[in-house]
Structure 1
């Protein structure tokens, strides 16, 4: 299992992925799920993947090798596509090609076709964009109303993002929220694990990329996990108990059991 989150902000992009792959209880490995393609002054395109590692690696290799444009017939790669929309379409076509190649054999082995890709970035002179591409090759785009996307096991990390992330969120605050979201997932799902890969990108900069790998020994992430846990415990202790439980409200009928 995997958890990846991408945030689409006025200031830029935040993309965070775990690195755990799980092919059984005794076969747990670490693989990078976040990578980026950068041509200085021209483009910065980052991708994160979830689902079957073999399928996602096939897709990523295919978009680097190239596929023919359906209109012109010219081979396009992730480094030559003219727009971010075409980059999303290229990944969608790569997923469909991988599906045509492997789906029948996978079904014979009772293995589901499971892959999803998150794509974010910008080409010089064009708009920064963030997409989520599904296993059918179709995709959706982050908007001002929905400024973050998730792939993999997203349910544990979603509540904090729903409450706190907007387009106006500064990148540094967004990084903090992404890490809290990841910590919630790490605590509830053993299929998601450290180390983490983080990328931030400044809007309209093309070369304004920062990346880091966060391990168990990272002092900031350790501090964040401890303080967030303590804050949650303090918050629920500070909320008054329900009055029906203490019978302090004589006008309230007893709770039926």
Structure 2
């Protein structure tokens, strides 16, 4: 299992992912689930992935194949020459369908589902930044001001903090903290999610991928963040008056 999320606020976008892949309690490996694509001054894109590792890697391979063809003599459609983010998400959905045609039946015969979910986001030119979730069927939805974040994978543990505190009007530096707390809270409650955490913070209008970090479990900022969060929760609970029937 994995957990990836993207937050959309007025100042930009935040992308976060863990790096743990689990195939049973005795087979835990690390695989990056974030890919960032950049053509400085023109567009910046980020893809987060969850699901069957072989499927996500196949989709990535097809995306890379098309980009190689597009810069060669063959030309053609690729991730980095779509007109807008919606078309980009649709393009990624088409690559999922391409893999589905090749592998879905064989996976079914082996008792496995065709399991993949992606988050695709970024900014193209002067168009506003956007984030989309692309499903295993290839269709997509986008985040909005009213629902300004997307999650894939093991999402239930990290959702409450976002529901309670994050909005489209949250400043970008605060959005990073909300995202890290959501990811770290998930890792605290589910052993299949864990460090290293990858962060890509994108400020609207930059059109370059300049703010990327990897957080190991002992990263000073991550350790301070989780300690302050845990201790703050305990202090807040202590500060809440008890129920009248229990007060003596």
TM-score by length of 1: 0.90
**Structure 1 residue 175, shift from structure 2 partner:** 0.6
Helix, strand or coil: the match of 1:50?
strand
Structure showing greater Rg = 1
Helix, strand or coil: the match of 1:76?
coil
**Structure 1 residue 214, shift from structure 2 partner:** 0.4
**Structure 1 residue 204, shift from structure 2 partner:** 1.4
| Alignment-derived partner of residue 254 in structure 1 | none
| Alignment-derived partner of residue 83 in structure 1 | 84
Q: Which runs of structure 2 are paired with 1:145-160 in the superposition (5 Å)?
A: 145-160=146-161
| Alignment-derived partner of residue 71 in structure 1 | none
Q: Which runs of structure 2 are paired with 1:132-147 in the superposition (5 Å)?
A: 132-147=133-148
Q: Which runs of structure 2 are paired with 1:86-125 in the superposition (5 Å)?
A: 86-125=87-126
The whole-number CA distance in structure 2 between the counterparts of 1:99 and 1:163 is: 37
Unpaired stretches in structure 1, ≥5 consecutive residues:
69-73, 249-257
The whole-number CA distance in structure 1 between the counterparts of 2:98 and 2:41 is: 31
The whole-number CA distance in structure 1 between the counterparts of 2:139 and 2:219 is: 37
The whole-number CA distance in structure 1 between the counterparts of 2:101 and 2:214 is: 35
**Structure 1 residue 127, shift from structure 2 partner:** 2.1
| Alignment-derived partner of residue 229 in structure 1 | 230
Q: Is the 8 A contact 2:38 2:209 kept in 1?
A: no
Matched, 1:165 2:154: no
The whole-number CA distance in structure 1 between the counterparts of 2:205 and 2:77 is: 24
Question: Cα deviations across residues 195-226 of structure 1 (Å, max 9, x unaligned)?
Answer: 00000111012025310100022101001111
Q: Is the 8 A contact 1:202 1:208 kept in 2?
A: no
**Structure 1 residue 128, shift from structure 2 partner:** 1.3
Q: Which runs of structure 2 are paired with 1:196-211 in the superposition (5 Å)?
A: 196-207=197-208, 209-211=210-212
| Alignment-derived partner of residue 72 in structure 2 | none
Helix, strand or coil: the match of 1:48?
strand
Helix, strand or coil: the match of 1:87?
helix
**Structure 1 residue 243, shift from structure 2 partner:** 2.6
Matched, 1:30 2:18: no
The whole-number CA distance in structure 1 between the counterparts of 2:63 and 2:209 is: 23
**Structure 1 residue 106, shift from structure 2 partner:** 0.7
Question: Cα deviations across residues 15-55 of structure 1 (Å, max 9, x unaligned)?
Answer: 00000001111111111101111011111000000111111
**Structure 1 residue 172, shift from structure 2 partner:** 0.8
Q: Which runs of structure 2 are paired with 1:238-257 in the superposition (5 Å)?
A: 238-245=239-246
Q: Is the 8 A contact 1:21 1:29 kept in 2?
A: yes
Q: How many residues align?
A: 243
**Structure 1 residue 9, shift from structure 2 partner:** 1.1
Moved over 2 A (4+): 240-246
| Alignment-derived partner of residue 128 in structure 1 | 129
| Alignment-derived partner of residue 4 in structure 1 | 4
Q: Please, what is the CA RMSD of the aligned residues?
A: 1.7
| Alignment-derived partner of residue 251 in structure 1 | none
**Structure 1 residue 99, shift from structure 2 partner:** 1.1
TM-score by length of 2: 0.93
Unpaired stretches in structure 2, ≥5 consecutive residues:
70-74
Q: Is the 8 A contact 1:5 1:16 kept in 2?
A: yes
